[in-house]
Amino acid sequence: MGDFVARLVGEMPWYINDPQVNLVANGIANDVPTERDLDRALARILNTSFLGVVDLYTESLIAGQYFLSAVFPELDCAEPPANVSRGMERTLAARVAEVEAACGPAVWAELLRLNRMDLQLLEAARAEVARRVRMVPEDAAERLRSHLASAAP
């Protein structure tokens, strides 16, 4: 993995240079993003009706279903995660440490630099999902949590 990441960093950085900012802001992922792109991406995630963050899957569904229920009263978001990557049973910190060790200090530092805006976007999205889910009445949130648990394989 370290050699692969090192090659991307050294030869094709546009593939790993804040791709989420590029996709959300511009719909493409092959230009070097700017602060204006980050601002546009942040505005889009804050204005989206249904914001989903993978590591806040359940919370994203709870907030999304609740806030869309006035327009789509039959919307049922009780779907267990699908297409989940292997290795997810370990903590995020453990997975990050594994990638960091595989990359080595110089490549890791450059990878972090190339993804500075993506990390800002992720933190903003997590904060927004948390804000939205706090606005959901507990009974509505608990109904969807229970429904999700019963839908799990």
User: Per residue in 7-33, pLDDT tens?
Assistant: 999 998 888 899 999 999 999 767 789
Rounded Cα distance, 85 and 68, in Å? 28
Q: What is the pLDDT of residue 31?
A: 75
Evaluate whether residue 131 is within a structural domain: yes
Q: Is the pLDDT of residue 85 over 70?
A: no
Does some domain include residue 78?
Answer: yes
CB 18 within 8 A of CB 33: yes
Q: How much is the average pLDDT of 61-82?
A: 86
Asked whether residue 121 is assigned to any structural domain, the reply reads yes
97 domain-assigned:
no
**pLDDT given at position 81:** 65
Q: Give dist(CA 34, CA 129) in Å, integer.
A: 24
Tens digits of per-residue pLDDT, 28-59? 767 789 999 999 999 999 999 999 998 898 89
Domain membership flag for residue 56: yes
Structurally, how many domains does the chain consist of? 1
* pLDDT bucket at 144, cuts 50 / 70 / 90: confident
Q: Tell me the pTM.
A: 0.85
> pLDDT confidence of 142, banded at 50, 70, 90?
confident
- Range(s) of the domain holding residue 131: 18-89+116-151
Residue 82 within a domain? yes
